[in-house]
Amino acid sequence: MELKRGQVVFSNAGRDQGKFAVVLEDDGVYAVICDGARRTLEAPKKKKHIHLSKTLSFLSEEEMRSDRAIKKALRRFCEHE
């Protein structure tokens, strides 16, 4: 699975199961994700692709400028659950 910077993903396993996050970087096996709350830009989570479901949505660089902006942008995905 190939993930791109800014892509919104859904966590299928782990403590963050059932939550949305955004991909900061991807190396082919692992994705570095951030949700702006528990996992901040300063302390992102490295997670295997098998534990993530990708969505077709992307956040802009402007929406990824700070933890607060990421949390606000991801809120719209949580409302649709």
**Global confidence as pTM:** 0.86
- Residue 42: give its domain's CATH number: 2.30.30
Total domains in the fold of the chain: 1
Residue 43 lies in a domain: yes
Q: Is residue 71 part of a domain?
A: yes
For residue 50, being part of any structural domain is answered with yes
Structural domain range at position 43: 7-78
- Give a yes or no: residue 11 inside a domain: yes
Asked, for residue 2, whether it belongs to a domain, the answer is no
Digits of tens for pLDDT over the chain (81 positions)? 789 999 999 999 988 899 999 999 998 899 999 998 899 999 999 999 999 999 999 999 998 999 999 999 998 887 655
Backbone φ, ψ for residue 53 (5° rounding): -115, 125
Distance CA(61)–CA(51), nearest Å, equals: 24
